[in-house]
Amino acid sequence: MDKLIYLDNNATTRVDDKVLEAMLPYFKEEYANPSSIYEFARPASRAIKEARGKIKDMLNAANEKEIIFTSCGSESANQAIRGVLNMNKNKRHIITTKVEHPAVLNLYQSLEKQGYSVDYIGVNSNGELNLEELAQAVNPDTALVSVMYANNETGVIYPIEKISQIIKSKNPNTKLFVDAVQAAGKIPIDVQALGVDLLGISGHKFHAPKGVGVLYVNSKTVITPLIIGGHQERGLRAGTENVPYIVGIGKAAELAVDNLKYEMTEVKRLRDKLEANILKNVFNARLNTSVANRVPNTTNIGFEYIEGELILLHLSDLGICASSGSACTSGSLEPSHVLRAMGVPFTAIHGSIRFSLSKYTTEKEIDYVTDALPSIVDKLTNLSPFQNELDELKKLKS
Ligand code: PLP
């Protein structure tokens, strides 16, 4: 196949043509500052209002005022977490999970160094959260709990509604921030049903461009702004609005809602086909994720006793893009903190590959990857220094 096969949609996605088309007029024709008073600025301010409405609908927020545009998922997380803590300076205990994205985990680690007491909740071998441990961790001093909606490496979905109930029953004043960056566009998000106080998403994970995100802040939740300056975004995020990108994420949200059914049936079917064929045809492949409880586009497969980076390079030679974990941690040789928290053996963590599909993935592409992968793994398995272990494994599987 001489075409690129892009199976790394949890890292970023291609901008939808319709999104780009919606954005273009706001670069050249409707370039006014939306805060300006003259008539020429009206289309820009109207476009922001419209985009806010589309995000409100996507998240089922009660009010457009609960939607703040940011520059990315990391900013949304930082704004939510720091914004809550600054409003509750007397509380010094915070909770998160061991499997968060670095956007949350590294922030928590820096808060720990600043004197916060932190509980990191663990997961089981399927990547599912220990809710008992969470319930026990919440106390009267807990200012905030941050839990992702879907994990970027395994796709595992966390039961946010239940988590919210557990937290609120232990301490009604504890705020819940949900990093929903990997859920947006893949499963429905209903902030009211979930009972969340704050929730973040990022445009580039659902076919809007990089550089635009959203933070939902429930109207009962008061936060301090990270960026102080002008009055934009109700004083919660200063800086002249990025009109074309805001239009882009609004359009992408509308398309994502329309596409959800396809995502949850057809994209899931292709993901399941890829996964089943690999697990059937490659004796040293093992699944590193929950089978039932995850977003429809993601699988994570460990190839025991071989190096994931080498598999990725061989796939890349064939034009196939996949990943060995979070894009933000690849490039470092640290084994995945998510797979470690799940107790995946080191011999499989190093050979783990995440495949993440999108609405653009075709059956032909999946068939091509399914055909190509076994011989790549076979070649690398023959070069592995762990021949005895591999022989044992082969015997066990046959
Ligand atoms: N949270 C999760 C779960 C992610 O997967 C990512 C990006 O990979 C982020 C946050 C950060 O988003 P952004 O790249 O928009 O800052």
**Helices 308-317 and 363-383 sit at what angle, rounded to 10 degrees?**
130
pLDDT at 99 over 60: yes
**Mean pLDDT across 17-43:** 98
Q: What are residue 123's DSSP bridge partners?
A: 129
| 219: number of Cβ within 10 Å | 10
Mean pLDDT of 249-258: 98
Lowest mean pLDDT among 73-82, 274-283, 320-329, 377-386: 320-329
Question: 58-71 pLDDT, tens per residue?
Answer: 999 999 999 999 99
| Mean pLDDT computed over 84-100 | 97
User: Across all residues in the chain, what is the average pLDDT?
Assistant: 95
Ligand 1 centroid to Cα of residue 253, in Å, is 17
Smallest CA separation from ligand 1 atom 13, residue: 73
Instruction: Write down the pLDDT at residue 326.
Output: 46
- Whole-number Å distance, alpha carbon 11 to ligand 1 midpoint, is 8
* 72 is an active site residue: no
Predicted local confidence at residue 325, as pLDDT: 61
Domain 17-256 belongs to what architecture? 3-Layer(aba) Sandwich (3.40)
Question: Does 15 score more than 90 pLDDT?
Answer: yes
Which residues form the pocket of ligand 1, taking CB atoms under 6 Å from any ligand atom?
72-74, 101, 103, 148, 152, 179, 181-182, 202, 213, 326-328
Q: Identify the sign of the CA torsion 257, 258, 259, 260.
A: positive
200 C-alpha to ligand 1 centroid (Å): 9
Q: Distance, CA 394 to ligand 1 centroid (Å)?
A: 38
Best residue for ligand 1 mutational test, from 75, 76, 96, 202 (most atoms within 8 Å of Cβ): 202
Q: Is 141 exposed, middle or buried (0-12, 13-18, 19+ CB in 10 A)?
A: middle
| pLDDT, tens digit (0-9, with 9 covering 90-100), for 294-344 | 999 999 999 999 999 999 999 999 999 999 864 444 455 678 999 999 999
| Numbered ranges of CATH 3.40.640.10 in the chain | 17-256
Q: Which atom of ligand 1 is nearest to the CA of 150?
A: 3
pLDDT at 3 over 90: no
**What pLDDT is attached to residue 49?**
98
- The CATH architecture of the domain made up of 5-11+261-397 is Alpha-Beta Complex (3.90)
Catalytic residue among 309, 328, 368, 389: 328
- CA gap 134, 165 in Å, rounded: 11
**Where does the chain hold its CATH 3.90.1150.10 domain(s)?**
5-11+261-397
Q: Which of 152, 177, 323 to mutate to test the pocket of ligand 1 (most atoms within 8 A of CB)?
A: 152
pLDDT tens profile 132-158: 999 999 999 999 999 999 999 999 999
Nearest ligand 1 atom to alpha carbon 11: 8
Q: How confident is the model at residue 220 (pLDDT cuts 50, 70, 90)?
A: very high
The Cα 280–Cα 224 span in angstroms is 52
The confidence score (pLDDT) of residue 137 equals: 98
159-205 pLDDT per residue, tens: 999 999 999 999 999 999 999 999 999 999 999 999 999 999 999 99
